[in-house]
Amino acid sequence: MNLKDLEFTAERLANATLFGEGEREALKTARDLIAALRAANDLPADFQAKDLVSLIWEKSQLPQAPAAVIHIPSAGDPEKGIHAVVPGGLGINAVIGTVIHATFDANAQDNPPAALRKTLEAIGLTVVPAHTTMPWDRLEIPAGEHATPVATFN
C-alpha cells in the first residue's frame, strides 16, 4: 500500500460512523501524521507505506543540522560575546524574538552574561564557549564542512 492510499483509507475510516469518537480522532491524527511525514520528506504519493518505518528510524539516528549560529555581542566589546547554535528544529524568526527579549531580561540581572546563557539554554540553544577577533563574514569553513548562516545581534 502506498502513502496516498494509506492517507485515503485513514480518511475514510475516520469519517465512518462505525467507530467511536476517540477512534475516529486517532485515525484523523494518523492521517495527518502520514501527510506531514510525506510532505516534510518530499516523498512521492506512490512511496510504499512499509518503507516509511525504516525511513523514520534512519532519519531519527541522524544529528540535526543547526539552523544557524548566532553571535550576541557583549556591551563592552562587540567582538566578544556569546555564540549559540540554533538547532534545526527551531525556527530562526522565533529564536530572534526570544533572544532579543532574553537580552533585555538578562541586562536587568546582577550577572547579565550568566542570565543570558541560562535563558538561551532554556529555550534549546547550545551556547558555545567561543570568542572571535575576526568578523564572521571572513570566517573560513574547512573543506567538507557545511557553512551555516550566522545572525549577529547589535
The total of structural domains in the chain comes to 2
Does residue 34 have a pLDDT over 70? yes
Q: 81-88: long-range contacts at Cβ-Cβ below 8 A with a sequence spacing of 24 or more? A: 81/131, 82/113, 82/116, 82/117, 82/120, 82/127, 83/127, 83/128, 83/130, 83/131, 83/132, 84/120, 84/125, 84/126, 84/127, 84/128, 85/125, 85/126, 85/128, 86/125, 87/124, 87/125, 87/126, 88/64
pLDDT at residue 91, rounded to an integer: 65
**Average pLDDT over all residues of the chain:** 71
Boundary-marking domain end, from 26, 45, 61: 61
Alpha helices in the chain (DSSP H): 3-15, 21-40, 50-61, 92-107, 112-122
- What is the average per-residue pLDDT within 18-27? 89
DSSP lists the bridge partners of residue 126 as 85
Q: Minimal CA–CA distance to 4: which of 56, 44, 54, 41?
A: 44
Residues 85 and 54 in one domain: no
Instruction: State residue 119 phi and psi, 5-degree precision.
Output: -65, -45
The pTM (predicted TM-score) of the whole model is 0.39
Q: For Cα atoms 130, 146, 51, give the angle at the middle one, nearest 5 degrees.
A: 125
Residues 55 and 125 in one domain: no
Boundary-marking domain end, from 39, 61, 83: 61
Residues 109 and 50 in one domain: no
Percent of the chain topping pLDDT 90: 3
72 and 99 Cβ atoms separated by less than 8 Å: yes
Residues 14 and 29 in one domain: yes
Of the listed ranges 69-73, 93-97, 118-122, 131-135, the least confidently predicted one is: 131-135
pLDDT tens-digit map of 35-65: 888 887 778 878 888 887 777 776 666 566 6
pLDDT at residue 12, rounded to an integer: 92
Residues 39 and 89 in one domain: no
Of the listed ranges 30-34, 51-55, 75-79, 129-133, the least confidently predicted one is: 129-133
State which residues form the domain around 80. Answer: 68-152
Percent of the chain topping pLDDT 70: 45
Does residue 150 have a pLDDT over 70? no
